[in-house]
């Protein structure tokens, strides 16, 4: 347990202004593995001085427990293996407080801002991490980041069946293809929805069991079982949405956490004549 020295050193504004205090975790080894915010007087004083409400303090205490973390954070070895990816968290400074061991920072990792993270680092709820202040630095670029879009609505689109899984373009860059972008615009997608489709149509942002050719090839037949819908078509290519909600029963490693998108040869899929 960390003892309060003279007083808590608070550096952040109240929690409502956390977007102005974006930070980057630069050293995952600086994450405190088993924080105990409930009984840590310095941490409690720091959170109170930062103007946090009782409910937020309760959430910070509960959600800082390792049992609430995704598997990629729960051990030293996991954090070491994910060192680079952890630096991609969209994180915000809650407060910093002084202890005999040096300054510690409480950092929030909102789930709504971290859809882009790999499966083993993505949480379904907000996280709070206690980090030695030497492992955190200000991140001005992230301060204005908006929550990621969940993508365009898929209900009402025409169902599609994947006939030839090897007809997928796994590294297709929609943003570089004028015809593809025009097709998305024609669908009336917002800018944030287009960004979501472009981002999650590349294999690196698919479930971790199919995010590379080597992993995907032995499982190609499984792609036929996806419940898919046609989002757009241009030339001889079709863009499918694989909704997370419609594919909750997909095997682990193929189950999408958010809707994903795949570009196929038009001959590799069969699109229903009518919308559902």
- For CA atoms 194, 174, 154, 254, the dihedral sign is negative
Residue 116's pLDDT is 75
Phi-psi sector, 102: left (phi>0), alpha (psi -120 to 50), beta: left
CB 14 within 8 A of CB 52: yes
The H or E element containing residue 159 is: strand 158-162
The model's confidence at residue 1, banded by pLDDT at 50, 70 and 90, is very low
Q: What is the mean pLDDT of the chain?
A: 85
pLDDT winner (highest mean) among 1-15, 40-54, 224-238? 224-238
Strands 168-169 and 260-265, by their bridges, are antiparallel
DSSP state of 145: P
Task: List CB contacts of 77: < 8 A, sequence separation 6 or more.
Answer: none
Is 269 a residue whose pLDDT tops 90? yes
Residue 73's pLDDT is 92
Is 142 a residue whose pLDDT tops 60? no
Is 150 a residue whose pLDDT tops 60? yes
- Nearest in space to 133 (alpha carbons), one of 23, 20, 14, 16: 23
Comparing 86-90, 92-96, 146-150, 269-273, the range with the smallest average pLDDT is 146-150
Percent of residues, the chain, with pLDDT higher than 70: 88
CB 164 within 8 A of CB 129: no
Residue 15's pLDDT is 38
Is 141 a residue whose pLDDT tops 60? no
Going from N- to C-terminal start, the domains of the chain cover 15-142, 158-271
* Model confidence pLDDT, tens digit, residues 187-235: 889 888 998 899 899 998 898 889 899 999 999 999 999 999 999 999 9
């Amino acid at each position: 347990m960390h003892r309060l020295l003279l007083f808590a050193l608070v550096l952040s504004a109240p929690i409502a202004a956390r977007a102005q205090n974006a930070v980057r975790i630069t050293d995952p080894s600086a994450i405190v593995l088993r924080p105990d915010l409930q009984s840590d007087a310095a941490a409690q004083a720091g959170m109170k001085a930062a103007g946090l409400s009782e409910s937020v303090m309760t959430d910070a205490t509960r959600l800082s427990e390792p049992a609430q973390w995704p598997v990629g954070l729960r051990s030293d070895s996991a954090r070491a293996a994910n060192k680079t990816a952890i630096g991609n968290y969209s994180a915000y400074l809650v407060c910093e407080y002084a202890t005999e061991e040096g300054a510690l920072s409480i950092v929030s990792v909102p789930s709504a801002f971290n859809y882009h993270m790999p499966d083993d680092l993505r949480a379904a709820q907000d996280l709070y991490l206690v980090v030695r202040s030497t492992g955190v630095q200000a991140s001005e670029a992230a301060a204005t980041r908006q929550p990621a879009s969940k993508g365009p609505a898929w209900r009402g689109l025409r169902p599609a069946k994947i006939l030839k899984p090897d007809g997928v373009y796994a590294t297709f860059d929609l943003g570089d293809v004028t015809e593809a972008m025009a097709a998305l615009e024609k669908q009336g997608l917002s800018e944030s929805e287009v960004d979501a489709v472009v981002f999650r149509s590349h294999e690196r942002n698919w479930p971790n069991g199919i995010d590379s050719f080597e992993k995907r090839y032995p499982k190609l037949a499984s792609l036929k079982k996806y419940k898919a819908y046609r989002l757009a078509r241009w030339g001889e290519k079709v863009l499918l949405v694989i909704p997370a909600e419609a594919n909750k029963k997909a095997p682990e490693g193929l189950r999408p956490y958010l809707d994903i998108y795949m570009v196929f040869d038009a001959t590799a899929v069969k699109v229903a004549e009518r919308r559902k």
